[in-house]
Amino acid sequence: MEGLTVKQLRKLFEANFKSTFREKQVWFWSIFYPVLLLVVFLMIFGGLGKGDSNFEAKVTAVVGKESALSESLLTALKQIPVLEWKEERPATRDEAEDWVKKKDVDALIVIPDEPDKPIELVLNKEKENSTMSQALSGIMGGVLQQANYNIAGVKPQLTFQPIYVSSGSDKLKYIDFLLTGLMAMSISQGGLFGMVGMVEMRRNGLLKRLLLSPMSTKAFGLADMLVRAVLAVIQLVLLTMIGVFAFGASLDINFASLIIVLAIGIVSFSAIGFLIAALSKTMESYFGIANLLSFVMMFLSGIFFEMSMLPAFIKPVSVVLPLTYFAEGIRDSMVYGLAPTGGSFWLNIGVMAAWGAVAFAIGSRFFKWKA
């Protein structure tokens, strides 16, 4: 019986492997799509990989009345490396504001005729809440504060210097955070969408015929899991190579932790896919449920940004999503090099395992082998 099960497992693995990788959709959604997302987001948020992306803003200035104060302010502003000055000076404020409206410059600095009037920072209304506007406002505030100290002859007694530390490599950057998050997302989607074939097999009666054959259902499920594992390894290796060699990602991998996280993650998300298949009568309904879950987890599980940035009323949803803990587990094992001994590691494993167990139990209760 044991020999028959091993033989069945090998045959079922070969059949599942061929059927899975024969589909063009698998190549697109499981390999090309994650790579495309990785390249697009890393180019937007991470620069081109050989160094940190630089913030730059193109500005111009209008001076109401030339004075020693206006000259000192302009001199201080022009020493700030992130500010790029438009070579041509505007003739009037109206002309300069027109440049801002047309987005020829990012901001206009207006130094008034009289020192008691406020110095104005004119920005495009469309960029009111952008990072660019907030950064420029902070820069202007710092320059004017220093100018006020100089005028009053006051030497600041307190200063601060930001220092960043990490439990991982000192070279950690946002690229590493985003890379590992996209790895978790792409592998999870393999499980979420990987069981759609069971819906079609049930609809055309193939599952019923398989159930009547000497085939072991355990071997059938295990073979499918092994195919998911092979696909996950391909995704992991491919995304890692692109992240490291094309974008300069810095990884500190603990292979023991990584293997455990991947194994639990693959099983858990495959179980969730099985639950979706159990609740879906058609492929359309399967894709509808899977796409909804994928969309929610993509933006609420800390894939693209820290969950601390989310509104308070959304965070309770984030802390129960399985992708949150899968992404954290991959980051802990690939970025921070944490061994499978800490409490946070087993919290990630425990939540994913709980999701997998509950999903499989409910799916087994409602799954039908025939339409």
CA 271 to chain centroid, in Å, comes to 23
Amino acid at 309: M
* Ranges for all domains in the chain classified under CATH 3.40.190.10: 57-152
Q: In this predicted structure, what is the pLDDT of residue 180?
A: 93
Query: What architecture (CATH level 2) is domain 57-152?
Result: 3-Layer(aba) Sandwich (3.40)
Give residues with Cβ within 8 angstroms of 61, minimum separation 6. Answer: 74, 77, 85, 89, 108, 109, 110, 111
**For the chain (length 371 residues), average pLDDT per consecutive 10?**
67 82 72 81 59 70 82 85 82 87 89 80 81 82 80 72 57 80 91 84 82 77 87 92 87 93 95 93 90 91 83 89 96 90 89 96 87 65
The closest alpha carbon to 223, from 250, 255, 198, belongs to: 198
Q: In this predicted structure, what is the pLDDT of residue 51?
A: 44
Q: In this predicted structure, what is the pLDDT of residue 268?
A: 96
The span from the first CA to the last CA of the chain, in angstroms, equals 30
Q: In this predicted structure, what is the pLDDT of residue 354?
A: 97
The closest alpha carbon to 325, from 214, 184, 221, belongs to: 184
Amino acid at 187: I
Sheet holding 57-63, edge to edge: 83-85, 57-63, 107-111, 120-123
Residue 312 sits at the vertex; the CA angle it makes with 297 and 192, to the nearest 5 degrees, is 10
CA 170 to chain centroid, in Å, comes to 21
Q: Which two tokens stand for residue 364?
A: 């087994």
